Amino acid sequence: MTYFLGIDSSTTATKALLLAADGTVIGVASSSYEYETPRPLWSEQSPALWWTAVVDSIRQVVAETAVPPTAIQAIGLTGQMHGLVLLDEAGAVLRPAILWNDQRTGAECNEMRAMIGKARLIAITGNDALPGFTAPKILWVKNHEPEVYGRITHILLPKDYVRLQLTGEYATDKAGAAGTQLFDVRQRDWSDEVVAALGINRAWLPETFEGTAVTGHLSPAAAAVTGLPAGIPVVAGGGDQAANAVGTGAVVDGIVALSLGTSGVVFASSDEPIVEPDGRLHAFCHAVPGKWHLMGVMLSAAGSLRWFRDTLAPGVSYDALLAPAADVPPGSEGLLFLPYLTGERTPYPDPLARGAFVGLTVRHTRAHLTRAVLEGVAFGLRDSFELMKNAGLPAITQVRASGGGVKSALWRQILADVLQAEIVTINTTEGAAYGAAILSAVGTGAFESVETACQQLIRVTGSARPGRDTAVYDQLYPLYRQLYPALKPTFDATQQLG
């Protein structure tokens, strides 16, 4: 048996997954770490944490599975997107990495729009300027830390710092690079126009590769600390959402990946680049060679249910909380929930958006509120589906759901009814790390293509189809859509009042 290693360096932990050639996950090891918030809106992390965790996780998974290191044929990389890693000429880190969830760069986003023009920026990169992206972080360093900016020789994303430690090579994948907002999403390479407009030295940016391309080989130094043999190919991989899509099989038109975790992500693959003209959806390159994707992000998905449980039903299990909600009729007897508890990203990129229950009466019980939360999150996710349809995405035939929220059969059925699509669960739960391992297997010849690998390795294990409640939710969705425009002035006013 041969094996493939997927490494996922996320915001809080690095996971190492060993995948057998038949698709079986042999073992998974994880090493956790923290990130720092030294000032309000800031989020930073030492890159050294990622490398230490990579070494620890690799050694742990090999030891626990007793897989001979010589049987590992390739390594695939994934991890948190958009983070800024700055290196000097010798490859030394110049400052802590500025992470995807850092919000300090509002002024720099406005600066980008002023220099390039919002419409032109969206047309080239597929996205409007957002604080989470890499490009405004570079401008922030230029504006606020000129002594650091003057020493930059290399710019990398977090997982590509791991690649550098593994191989000694400066490289990145096209999916991750598309999330920097320095990328021409249609041409699948750095945008000379954007890079020049922002005054960034093009030589600082690494060469880009398709997700299955071999970008280097395990160096003797890395082999010594990881316990793996030198020379193992390391493929490009992809950002965490693109790799997760590979891990769930969302690699062909019509199949959408829906992640229902703390946040909610709707990810749709496309054979052609599709850009939502107002930038309300993220348009990136896929980790699958020659493909693209659209992505909608909801900030409080299952996080809304967790807030509700912790605040109004502390100590109650999710099963006990949800069971009575199944007996509440669809629409929760006129009760609507707006799930913007932490602001929103799609369809309203508004950090001041807030949550609300609308339509409360004395007839409503906790079960009604519970069901309204489930329905409100489903309506919020439908916003992304509607934007994708209007942008020209091919018809959706199946939604592959993952994340803690889809453990609930009630929630899966509500999603099927609201989204008017089949919601399926699959045999894999490891997401991005699994996808990274698949990309490495394809890149070293174990499968003909990513599509072929996914078809052979990923199986549907459960299904919820649209039912009789679809018509009710179709009537309620336009009412849900009216809530944000109506309440937006109130949200802004209450923020001013503190």
d(CA 448, CA 382): 35
> Percent of the chain at pLDDT above 70?
100
Q: What is the three-class DSSP state of 234?
A: strand
* pLDDT tens digit sequence for 33-45: 999 999 988 999 9
Q: Mean of the pLDDT values across residues 469-478?
A: 97
Residue 2's Cα: distance from chain center in Å?
29
pLDDT mean over 193-204: 98
How does pLDDT run across 327-367, given as a tens digit for each residue? 999 999 999 999 999 889 899 988 889 999 999 999 999 99
Nearest to 306 by CA among 193, 419, 404: 404
Return the pLDDT at 41.
86
The average pLDDT across 171-199 equals 97
Q: 251-282, pLDDT tens digit by residue?
A: 998 899 999 988 899 999 999 999 999 999 99
Q: How confident is the model at residue 1 (pLDDT cuts 50, 70, 90)?
A: confident
The structure tokens listed for 307 are 């807030």
DSSP, collapsed to helix, strand or coil, labels residue 296 as strand
**What is the predicted pLDDT for the residue at 35?**
93
**240 catalytic per annotation:** yes
CB 78 within 8 A of CB 6: yes
175 pLDDT exceeds 80? yes
Of 157, 485, 473, the closest CA to residue 344 belongs to 485
CATH code of 3-242, in short, is 3.30.420.40
- Which stretch of DSSP H or E encloses residue 412? helix 409-419
Q: What is the DSSP string of 259-283?
A: EESSSEEEEEEESS----TTS-SEE
- Mean pLDDT check: name the lowest of 82-91, 302-311, 393-402, 461-470: 393-402
pLDDT of 169 over the 90 cut: yes
Residue 57 has pLDDT above 90, yes or no: yes
| Lowest-pLDDT range of 78-82, 310-314, 400-404 | 400-404
Task: Encode pLDDT of 286-308 as tens digits.
Answer: 999 999 999 999 989 999 999 99
pLDDT at 103: 86
**pLDDT digit string (tens) for 231-243?**
999 999 999 999 9
pLDDT tens sequence across 357-403: 999 999 999 999 999 999 999 999 999 999 999 999 888 889 999 88
pLDDT digits (tens, 9 = 90+) for 412-453: 999 999 999 999 999 887 889 999 999 999 999 999 999 999
Query: Domain ranges in the chain?
Result: 3-242
Mean pLDDT across 105-114: 96
What average pLDDT does the chain have?
Answer: 95
pLDDT of residue 498: 65
Query: Exposure of 151 by Cβ count < 10 A (0-12 exposed, 13-18 middle, 19+ buried)?
Result: middle
Residue 191 has which token pair?
């945008």
Token pair 């922002």 in the structure block, residue: 198
Is 90 exceeded by the pLDDT of residue 404?
A: no
Whether residue 124 is predicted with pLDDT greater than 70 in this model: the reply is yes
Cα separation, 16 vs 7, in Å, equals: 5
The secondary structure of 166-220 as a DSSP string is HHS--EEEHHHHHTTT-EETTTTEE-HHHHHHTT--GGGSPEEE-TTSEEEE--H
Using CA atoms, how far residue 415 sits from 98, 405, 409, 448, in Å, is 35, 11, 10, 34
Q: Which of 240, 383, 417, 469 is catalytic?
A: 240
Coarse DSSP helix, strand, coil percentages of the chain, rounded to the nearest 5 percent: 40, 25, 35
Region 109-113: what's the mean pLDDT? 97
